[in-house]
Every structure is written in structure tokens, then in C-alpha cells.
Amino acid sequence: MTITSFIPPHRTLMGPGPSDIYPQVLQALSRPTVGHLDPLFIGMMDELKQLLQYAFQTQNPFTIAVSAPGSAGMEACFVNLVEPGDKVLVCRNGVFGERMRENVERCGGIAVVVDNEWGAPVSPDLVEQALQDNPDINIVAFVHAETSTGALSDAKTLAEIARKHDCLTIVDAVTSLGGVPLLVDEWQLDAVYSGSQKCLSCTPGLSPLTFSQKAIDKIQQRKTKVQSWFLDQSLVLGYWSGEGKRSYHHTAPVNSLYALHEALVLLHNEGLENAWQRHRNAHEELKAGLEKLGIQFVVEEASRLPQLNAIYIPDGVDDAEVRNELLQRYNLEIGAGLGALAGKAWRIGLMGYGARSENVALCLKALETTLK
Ligand SMILES: *Cc1c(COP(=O)(O)O)cnc(C)c1O
């Protein structure tokens, strides 16, 4: 056998995630591993909680990172909050809304689906109507930033409507956290999950998660046990809650948590508002360049995500051939279309460390040359 070390090339990642990782984050990852119950590590975990609270703009004591990717954060919300028989309104305007529906059903819940066109934000009017038609719904689930289409939904308004109808909210903020305003406390969102590898520019495999007191109350009033042992947050709480109570639940991904800590220190040092503005600036630069190339956006201007630009593939252009050329000649990855947009759109990510003028310039030059 002649298998040797795997040495990947230096790609520029401008797809839907993972995004380019900050060099400081990669360095943090390679620091010495300590025991996951080591007092120094526990101190780091407490800081990590505070940094996550800042990123989410929340005071929720239950603010942690699930030791698994964004999909596990999604699942953690559904398995803890949805009990068999619960009726859940699921807003579907892309791939991830459909996954939410799937989660509800696997928890024994009843999903009522509100559909919006791919590329459109979730319509508050349709949500209001569905809640009027189904007064027994007790949870509203929606995706804040739909990575499959590049559409941003109005989380504040959707949460207001949900509250008016006495519903809790489950919010997918995997792509929004760090890239666009997300104000968990001000908007009174209840269960919000994210991912480490999108606008935080950390390594993949961790899912920031926060629960409001109302969400915790619903979990504590459950009549049935959460069917997943690993994702049962009442068990995880003992590990993250500190005050000398920390006990073993599972082995924390020690080095990955160093990396997340570092990524969040960088975000805190930059300041959330500045990070949001940087994403917006990069998006404006990209947009100006794409318009010169005659390329059209999938999403209407008002609900476009700066960090995920879905654009129509120009007529007569071979989707896979162009993406392959970008990868081979420029070491540049852009995303293919998903679901209803497969073969019709590309997705250009400007996430976290990738939301920079250099990346925009590289992408525009590579696209222009390749399309010729
Ligand atoms: C990427 C993504 C997920 C899933 O995250 P993974 O880390 O890939 O499991 C969920 N929702 C949205 C909106 C995403 O962009």
C-alpha cells in the first residue's frame, strides 16, 4: 500500500459553504489537545458561550455549540420541541424548509406546509392565514437565510405573527449568523440554530444553538422522552451549564471548539455591524461586476442575501464545464444549483473571511474569462 498524507490544494471557496477559513482559525485548531473536563478547557467553554451570545445577540443562558454540523442543530430543535401530535407550521421556500418538514414528521408531529416560490422570501401573509386556519398549531419553523436560493426572509415579522398566535419559533440561521442582522432577543426567537462553516468561517462540524426560556419551558413540560439520546438537550445542559456541575455527556470535539472560539473572537473584535457591512460591500462589488457581464440574479433585490448570490447560468453555457474550469484553472469553487434550481443557477458565496474584494475580483475575472 502506498497511501501517504493527504495534502489538499489551496482552493478559494465561494460556494454555499464551507467558506474559506480564517488562517488564525486553522492555527487554533492545531493547538495541543487538553482533556474536555480540564479546568482550562471549561474556562474556554464559558467564554465560547459568551461569544455565541454576542453573535446571536441574546442573553439566553442556553446558548451552546452542538458537537455536529448544522443539520444536527436543526434536528436538535425539532426533536426537543416537537412532541408526537404537535402541529407545526413549516415555511418552505427551498431545500432546507423541506428538511424541516421531514424532521417534524420523523418526530411524530403534523406538518402544515406554507409554500413559497424558490427564490422568494417566506410570505408573512401566508403564515398569518395558515395560523388563522389552524388554531391548534403551536410551533412555526422557517429558514432565515435560504442557502439553496439566496433569499432572506423577514424573521422579525414572522416571529411577531407566530407570537400573536401563541406559537414558538424554530429558526434556521445557518447562513445568516454573522452575515446579516440576526437579533435573537429583540425579535424574540425561541429556538435558533446555525453552522460553523458559513459566515463564521470556522471548520465544518459544529452547530451554534440557542433556546429561549419559552423553548426550555416547553421541553421541560414534555410528556415523552426525546427520542434521540445524543440530541436530548436536557442531558447536554449539565455539560455546558458549569458551576462545578460539569459532567461527562460525550467527548467534546476539543480542537474544533478552539477553532470556533477563535472565529468568534475575530467576529467580536471586528464587531457584528462591521461584519454585516463587509458582507454587504462585497455583495455590491460582485453585483456591479456581474451586471457588466449581463448576468441576472435569481432573487429580487429587496430580499437578496449578500452572502449567497444565486445567479442564472447564461443561455447556452454548460454548467458543469464552467464550474470544472473554475476549479481546475483558478482553484475556485462556486456552488451548483440545488433542487428546483439545479442546472439553472450558480451560487456564489461571500461568507465570512470570503467576503473580501480580492475574492470578488478573482471570481469576476475567472467567470469573465471562462465564459468567453
Ligand atoms: C448548510 C445549511 C444547513 C446544514 O448545515 P450542515 O452543516 O451542512 O449540516 C442547514 N440549513 C441551511 C440554511 C444551510 O445553509
pLDDT tens, position by position, 349-362: 999 999 999 999 99
Q: Are both 248 and 280 inside the same structural domain?
A: no
Q: Are both 81 and 225 inside the same structural domain?
A: yes
Q: Are both 227 and 325 inside the same structural domain?
A: no
Distance of alpha carbon 53 from the chain centroid: 16
Q: Are both 251 and 308 inside the same structural domain?
A: no
pLDDT tens, position by position, 156-197: 999 999 999 999 999 999 999 999 999 999 999 999 999 999
Spacing, Cα 337 to ligand 1 middle (Å): 15
Cell of 342: 439545479
Spacing, Cα 196 to ligand 1 middle (Å): 10
The closest alpha carbon to 270, from 44, 47, 22, 100, belongs to 22
Q: Are both 200 and 275 inside the same structural domain?
A: no
Mutate to test the pocket of ligand 1, among 66, 93, 174, 180 (most ligand atoms within 8 A of CB): 174
The closest alpha carbon to 286, from 333, 347, 343, belongs to 347
User: Would you say the CB of residue 69 lies under 6 angstroms from ligand 1?
Assistant: yes
Taking the model in full, what pTM does it have? 0.97
321: domain CATH number is 3.90.1150.10
> Does some domain include residue 184?
yes
Mutate to test the pocket of ligand 1, among 170, 175, 193, 199 (most ligand atoms within 8 A of CB): 175
| Predicted pLDDT at 90 | 98
> Does some domain include residue 3?
no
Q: Are both 295 and 182 inside the same structural domain?
A: no
User: Would you say the CB of residue 174 lies under 6 angstroms from ligand 1?
Assistant: yes
> Does some domain include residue 7?
no
Per run of 10 residues, the mean pLDDT along the chain (length 372 residues) is 96 97 98 94 95 98 97 98 98 97 98 97 98 98 98 98 98 98 98 98 98 96 95 82 71 97 98 98 98 97 98 96 97 95 97 98 98 91
> Does some domain include residue 1?
no
User: Which residue range(s) make up the domain with 247?
Assistant: 23-268
> Does some domain include residue 209?
yes
Q: Are both 86 and 127 inside the same structural domain?
A: yes
Q: Which residues contact 231 (CB under 8 A, 6 or more apart)?
A: 66, 72, 75, 76, 79, 80
User: Would you say the CB of residue 195 lies under 6 angstroms from ligand 1?
Assistant: yes
Looking at 233, 268, 303, which one is the last position of a domain?
Answer: 268
| Predicted pLDDT at 247 | 76
264: domain CATH number is 3.40.640.10
Spacing, Cα 155 to ligand 1 middle (Å): 17
Looking at 234, 268, 302, which one is the last position of a domain?
Answer: 268
> What residue's CA is closest to ligand 1, atom 2?
174
> Does some domain include residue 130?
yes
Q: Are both 235 and 252 inside the same structural domain?
A: yes
Looking at 243, 268, 293, which one is the last position of a domain?
Answer: 268
The closest alpha carbon to 168, from 191, 187, 145, 184, belongs to 191
> Does some domain include residue 4?
no
Spacing, Cα 291 to ligand 1 middle (Å): 28
> Does some domain include residue 249?
yes
User: Would you say the CB of residue 172 lies under 6 angstroms from ligand 1?
Assistant: yes
Q: Are both 49 and 141 inside the same structural domain?
A: yes
Confirm if 285 and 67 have CB atoms less than 8 A apart: no
Q: Are both 47 and 185 inside the same structural domain?
A: yes
What is the count of structural domains for the chain?
A: 2
Residue 127 CA neighbour count, 13 Å, CB half? 29
Residue 339, phi then psi, degrees to nearest 5: 55, -125
Q: Are both 241 and 347 inside the same structural domain?
A: no
Spacing, Cα 77 to ligand 1 middle (Å): 14
Q: Are both 277 and 241 inside the same structural domain?
A: no
Spacing, Cα 261 to ligand 1 middle (Å): 20
